[in-house]
């Protein structure tokens, strides 16, 4: 066993380093202890400060709430005092406004009643025009239905039913089968209805051919002695309408078959258009004759003199009566202005109908001059013109009904455009 040697003694430097390390360890221990004490002290101080701050904040909040309550109560008392002071003024203002409204209602009550009566009359006229249109359409529908039934009536079928009814009647008389009398009655009524419709168709055809013959004879007499045919009016528009209708009727007679497919009754259609144009011109002349320009000037001069007299009059009763006379004079001028407006509307309808006739005449010329390739296109344009003419005739009827009074004159039926 080897001998153990004792450790060498420490050098002074090592001893010094060891003492320094021990001193550092002791310093760390003291620092940790002081830091722990400081943290405990700081926590206590923070808690004490928080308690003191909370008490101060609660006291301030309570004080502020009391201040706001006192301020709200004070403002409420002030507002109540102001409302009590202003309540009388508001009540007087409301009474004044109500009195003003009552005065306005009493002052304008006649105007409101007059306006209501005018609206009611207008609505009544509108309803009357609508009922007339519906009645006119219903009569037209019934007439067309009767014409269709008459067109479907076959006289041969009617005579066959009549012969069968006679045979059944003979069999019922000369045989024990007496119930054949009822079959004979049914066949007989059917035969009577068919033959009656056929007779009506022949009568309608004769009535339609009579005006055509009259027009043809009238054209011949016009060519032979034109001075014997008097013109209804001296208005040049009537002469223009007559010339255009004569040319249109001649073209419709001499045109191709497509014209007769579109316009089935050219004589009645052209004659109806001629009469409508003359009627519009006549009514316009009558309305303008009711309010001549010299009469308007006379009323204006009288109104100026009456206004000057009203302005210079001192007596209240005389002034009131003169003001009533002035209102009546203004009402008369307004009515004359409405007559002039109605005349202008009739003139505008006359011009529109005349130019529609010219357009129809142009379409007829186009159909006559069209070749086989363009005849369908021209025929479609002609159908559109005829439909437009029907719409124009509806507008003419509405314009004449507006000009007429509620019960003035019978209503005319629509001009046949087909």
Pull the structure tokens for residue 393.
Answer: 């005739």
> Do residues 237 and 350 make contact, with C-beta atoms less than 8 angstroms apart?
yes
Which pLDDT band, with edges at 50, 70 and 90, does 373 fall under? very low
Q: Please check whether residue 5 lies inside any domain of the structure.
A: no
The answer to whether residue 380 scores a pLDDT higher than 60 is no
Q: Please check whether residue 83 lies inside any domain of the structure.
A: no
Region of poorest pLDDT, from 49-53, 206-210, 216-220, 389-393: 216-220
For the segment 383-395, the average pLDDT, to the nearest whole number, is: 56
Tell me what percent of the residues of the chain surpass a pLDDT of 70.
75
Which pLDDT band, with edges at 50, 70 and 90, does 245 fall under? confident
The answer to whether residue 418 scores a pLDDT higher than 70 is no
Q: Say whether 253 sits in a helix, a strand or coil.
A: helix
Q: What is the pLDDT of residues 246-269, one digit of tens each?
A: 887 787 777 666 666 666 677 777
The answer to whether residue 227 scores a pLDDT higher than 80 is no
Q: Please check whether residue 61 lies inside any domain of the structure.
A: no
Which of 155-159, 230-234, 352-356 tops mean pLDDT?
A: 352-356
- Which residue in this structure is represented by tokens 């009904």? 401
Residues with Cβ within 8 Å of residue 306, at least 6 apart in sequence: 322, 325, 326, 329
Q: Please check whether residue 39 lies inside any domain of the structure.
A: no
Q: How far apart are CA 350 and CA 344, in angstroms?
A: 10
Q: What is the pLDDT of residue 131?
A: 92
Q: How far apart are CA 263 and CA 253, in angstroms?
A: 10
Other Cβ atoms closer than 10 A to 346: 25
> Do residues 345 and 403 make contact, with C-beta atoms less than 8 angstroms apart?
yes
For the segment 160-182, the average pLDDT, to the nearest whole number, is: 82
Q: How far apart are CA 178 and CA 23, in angstroms?
A: 158
> Do residues 319 and 310 make contact, with C-beta atoms less than 8 angstroms apart?
yes
pTM of model > 0.85: no
For the segment 383-411, the average pLDDT, to the nearest whole number, is: 52
The answer to whether residue 215 scores a pLDDT higher than 70 is no
Alpha helices in 225-315 (DSSP H): 236-254, 257-262, 266-290, 293-312
Residues present in the chain in total:
418
Q: What is the pLDDT of residue 392?
A: 54
Q: How far apart are CA 357 and CA 351, in angstroms?
A: 10
Q: What is the pLDDT of residues 287-343, one digit of tens each?
A: 888 878 888 888 888 888 888 888 888 888 888 888 888 888 888 888 888 888 888
Higher per-residue confidence, 377 vs 358: 358
For the segment 359-367, the average pLDDT, to the nearest whole number, is: 78
Q: How far apart are CA 252 and CA 235, in angstroms?
A: 26
Q: Please check whether residue 96 lies inside any domain of the structure.
A: no
Structural domain count, the chain = 1
Cα separations in angstroms, 234 against 219, 240, 284, 285, 358: 20, 11, 14, 11, 21
Q: Please check whether residue 8 lies inside any domain of the structure.
A: no
Q: What is the pLDDT of residue 134?
A: 92
Which residues constitute the domain of residue 393? 234-290+340-418
Pull the structure tokens for residue 402.
Answer: 């507006």
Q: What is the pLDDT of residue 401?
A: 58
Q: Please check whether residue 297 lies inside any domain of the structure.
A: no
Q: How far apart are CA 312 and CA 303, in angstroms?
A: 14
The answer to whether residue 189 scores a pLDDT higher than 80 is yes
Q: What is the pLDDT of residue 243?
A: 85
* Closest to 277 in 3D by CA, of 235, 319, 306: 235
Q: Please check whether residue 138 lies inside any domain of the structure.
A: no
């Amino acid at each position: 066993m080897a001998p153990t040697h004792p450790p060498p003694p420490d050098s002074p430097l090592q001893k010094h380093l060891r003492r320094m390390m021990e001193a550092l360890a002791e310093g760390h221990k003291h620092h940790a202890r002081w830091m722990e004490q400081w943290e405990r002290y700081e926590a206590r101080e923070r808690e004490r400060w928080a308690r003191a701050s909370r008490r101060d904040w609660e006291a301030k909040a309570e004080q502020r709430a009391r201040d706001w309550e006192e301020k709200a109560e004070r403002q409420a008392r002030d507002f109540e005092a102001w409302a009590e002071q202003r309540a009388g003024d508001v009540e007087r203002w409301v009474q004044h406004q109500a009195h003003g409204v009552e005065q306005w209602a009493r002052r304008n009550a006649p105007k409101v009643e007059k306006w209501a009566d005018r609206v009611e009359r207008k609505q009544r006229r509108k309803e009357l025009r609508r009922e007339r249109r519906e009645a006119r359409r219903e009569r037209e529908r019934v007439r067309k239905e009767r014409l269709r039934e008459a067109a479907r009536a076959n006289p041969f079928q009617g005579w066959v039913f009549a012969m069968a009814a006679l045979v059944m009647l003979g069999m019922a008389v000369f045989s024990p089968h007496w119930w054949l009398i009822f079959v004979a009655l049914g066949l007989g009524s059917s035969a009577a209805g068919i033959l009656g419709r056929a007779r009506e168709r022949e009568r309608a055809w004769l009535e339609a051919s009579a005006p055509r013959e009259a027009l043809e004879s009238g054209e011949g007499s016009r060519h032979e002695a034109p001075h014997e045919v008097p013109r209804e009016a001296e208005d040049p528009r009537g002469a223009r309408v007559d010339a255009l209708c004569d040319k249109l009727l001649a073209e419709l007679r001499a045109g191709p078959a497509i014209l007769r497919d579109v316009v089935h009754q050219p004589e009645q259609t052209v004659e109806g258009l001629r009469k409508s144009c003359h009627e519009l011109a006549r009514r316009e002349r009558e309305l303008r004759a009711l309010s001549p320009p010299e009469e308007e000037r006379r009323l204006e001069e009288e109104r100026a003199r009456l206004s000057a007299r009203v302005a210079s009059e001192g007596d209240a009763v005389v002034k009131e009566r003169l003001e009533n006379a002035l209102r009546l004079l203004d009402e008369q001028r307004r009515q004359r202005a409405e007559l002039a407006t109605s005349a202008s509307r009739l003139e505008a309808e006359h011009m529109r109908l005349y130019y529609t006739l010219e357009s129809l005449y142009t379409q007829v010329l186009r159909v006559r001059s069209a070749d086989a390739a363009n005849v369908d296109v021209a025929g479609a344009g002609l159908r559109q013109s005829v439909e437009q003419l029907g719409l124009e005739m509806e507008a003419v009827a509405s314009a004449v009904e507006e000009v007429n009074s509620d019960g003035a004159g019978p209503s005319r039926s629509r001009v046949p455009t087909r």
